[in-house]
Chains A and B, each alone.
Chain A
Amino acid sequence: MQLIREVKFLIGKELLLEWRSKYALNGVVLYVVSTVFVCFLSFVSLKGVTWNALFWIIMLFASINTVSKSFLQESKGRQLYIYTIASPTALIISKTIYNVFLMLLVTIIALAFYTLVFDYVPQDMGLYIVATILGSLSFSTIFTMISAIASKAGNGGMLMAILSFPVIIPVITMLIKLSKNAVDGLDRSVSLDEIAILLIINVLVIASSLLLFPYLWRD
């Protein structure tokens, strides 16, 4: 129906724009690669807890960079045009899904490069991949909403960092615990609590984004 068509159209538009310029993807991949390389030069060899913590620091900043671009770089004129043709719900759903795609891609590239450079593979790789997927999902949903709020406020980048930091802390805590379980090779049933909480936080964030974005959009 109408909503799904609008969402598909908007996602297609974002992907097309991205494919033409590859600005966001290339920027973030370059960021991740250079960060990993700098870390490699300083640490040379990393294992276990340090490896895990560093990975999440890199992912956190990469995701802030990726997702903040989605709202902050849109010009006023284009936003007005989209306002006239699509419903706000469709817009937020499409932006979230697009950011999830982008984040998943960046995460996979980052993880591959990271394991390659440091030559270390966590003991339970399957669970680790699940953790990174959940992480990229959580980051993109939360940061999409926060960047929507920050873009309306005008001051952009710095405000985005201030607003997002407290909100992302519980997510990061759960993710680090979950991924540490994977690194240590613990039995998977031990981590079910963390996975459940992450899924619940994601559902909460998506629900509140869907409810609140239409109010934000009416400008």
Chain B
Amino acid sequence: MAINLTYMYKSWWKILGAVLVVYATVFGFLSKVPALPILHQSIRNLYFHVPMWFSMIVLFTISVWHSIKYLSSNKQENDMKAVQSVNAGVIFGLLGIVTGAIWARFTWSQFWSFDVKQNFAAIAMLLYFAYLVLRNAIDEEQKRAKISAIYNIFAFPMMVVLLFVLPRLSDSLHPGNGGNPGFNAYDLDKHMRMVFYPACLGWILIGYWIYTLLFRVSALEKKNLL
């Protein structure tokens, strides 16, 4: 398998990601936050909860991109990249739900308040679990790659609709949906922005790093099996 992966071996973006995440975590707890009703100090969760979802979206976009590339090229490498990015993305999605639940415990008084966005986020996770189950159900490699690529392309727009379109239409406790004011309500003043944007970038880089590691491990396993 001749793969051009030089960017995966470079260290600069990994160090950058690590530094950004450490910075965001430390300053997330130390910096000033606006005093808002109900949220109080729990607003600091913003630095963790939202970057998780952004990383998940980035990873799932990478996955669907590689699925499309697999259908046109039939190269095993694209299929491996697709599945490993789904693996990494699912982890981030689960972390997003967990951080959201912890936040909900303090602001909405229950871990799971059957809020619309919470429900739809869980169902979006189910979509990708079904993708992993589908992969397990097929033994033959080429067939598995092709069919899971097709399901991935089919499921991705559905996930986008579930997470972004539907919550806006119904009443929801989430800020930004159902008549609640959006990000602006946090008065993302410059203090929060200074931690929030680096946090997003840092977590996306870390997520990408995890995906590249998963991919490299699976590629090595495959090479050793041959």
Q: Which of B147, B153, B166 has the most CB of A within 10 A?
A: B147
Assembled-state Cα–Cα distance A165/B20 (Å): 39
B161 engages A170 (CB within 8 Å): yes
Say yes or no for A4: interface residue by CB 8 A criterion: no
B127 engages A167 (CB within 8 Å): yes
- Chain A residues with Cβ below 8 Å from B120 are 169-170
Assembled-state Cα–Cα distance A149/B152 (Å): 11
A215 engages B154 (CB within 8 Å): no
B147 engages A149 (CB within 8 Å): yes
A152 engages B147 (CB within 8 Å): yes
Please encode chain A, from 137 to 170, with 1 for each CB lying within 8 Å of some chain B CB and 0 for all others.
0000000010001001111000100110111011
Say yes or no for A72: interface residue by CB 8 A criterion: no
Contact of B150 among A149, A169, A219 (CB under 8 A): A149
Number of A residues whose C-beta is below 8 Å from B? Answer: 27
Task: Tell me the chain B residues, 151-190 only, with Cβ under 8 Å from chain A.
Answer: 151, 153-155, 157-158, 161-162, 165-166, 169-170
Number of B residues whose C-beta is below 8 Å from A? Answer: 28
Contact of A173 among B134, B146, B147, B166 (CB under 8 A): B166
The answer to whether residues A153 and B147 also contact, given A170-B162, A215-B71 and a CB cut-off of 8 A, is: yes
B147 engages A162 (CB within 8 Å): no
A166 engages B130 (CB within 8 Å): yes
- Chain B residues with Cβ below 8 Å from A154 are 137-138
Assembled-state Cα–Cα distance A162/B133 (Å): 8
B154 engages A165 (CB within 8 Å): no
Q: Smallest distance from the beta carbon of B48 to chain A beta carbons, Å?
A: 26
Say yes or no for A53: interface residue by CB 8 A criterion: no
- CB-CB nearest in chain B for A194: B169
A208 engages B154 (CB within 8 Å): yes
Contact of B123 among A149, A153, A169, A212 (CB under 8 A): A169
Q: Smallest distance from the beta carbon of A93 to chain B beta carbons, Å?
A: 17
A166 engages B127 (CB within 8 Å): yes
- Chain B residues with Cβ below 8 Å from A170 are 120, 123, 158, 161-162, 166
The B contact surface, by secondary structure, is helix
Say yes or no for B90: interface residue by CB 8 A criterion: no
Q: Smallest distance from the beta carbon of B180 to chain A beta carbons, Å?
A: 18
The answer to whether residues A166 and B126 also contact, given A149-B151, A204-B157, A212-B153 and a CB cut-off of 8 A, is: yes
Task: Tell me the chain A residues, 148-206 only, with Cβ under 8 Å from chain B.
Answer: 149, 152-155, 159, 162-163, 165-167, 169-170, 173-174, 177, 193-194, 197, 201, 204
Contact of B134 among A153, A197, A216 (CB under 8 A): A153
A159 engages B137 (CB within 8 Å): yes
Contact of A152 among B143, B154, B158 (CB under 8 A): B143
- CB-CB nearest in chain B for A219: B143
Assembled-state Cα–Cα distance A155/B144 (Å): 13
Q: Smallest distance from the beta carbon of B166 to chain A beta carbons, Å?
A: 6
- CB-CB nearest in chain A for B155: A167
- Chain A residues with Cβ below 8 Å from B86 are none
Assembled-state Cα–Cα distance A136/B158 (Å): 18
B154 engages A145 (CB within 8 Å): yes
Binding site for A on B (CB under 8 A): 71, 120, 123-124, 126-127, 130, 133-134, 137-138, 143, 146-147, 149-151, 153-155, 157-158, 161-162, 165-166, 169-170
Given contacts A149-B134, A204-B157, 20 further A-B contacts (CB under 8 A): A149-B150, A149-B154, A152-B147, A153-B134, A153-B137, A153-B138, A154-B137, A162-B133, A163-B151, A165-B130, A166-B127, A169-B120, A170-B162, A170-B166, A177-B170, A197-B169, A201-B161, A208-B157, A216-B150, A219-B143
Binding site for B on A (CB under 8 A): 145, 149, 152-155, 159, 162-163, 165-167, 169-170, 173-174, 177, 193-194, 197, 201, 204, 208, 212, 215-216, 219
5 A-B contacts, Cβ less than 8 Å apart? A153-B137, A159-B137, A170-B162, A170-B166, A194-B169
Shortest Cβ-Cβ A-B pairs, 3 listed: A166-B127, A166-B126, A212-B150
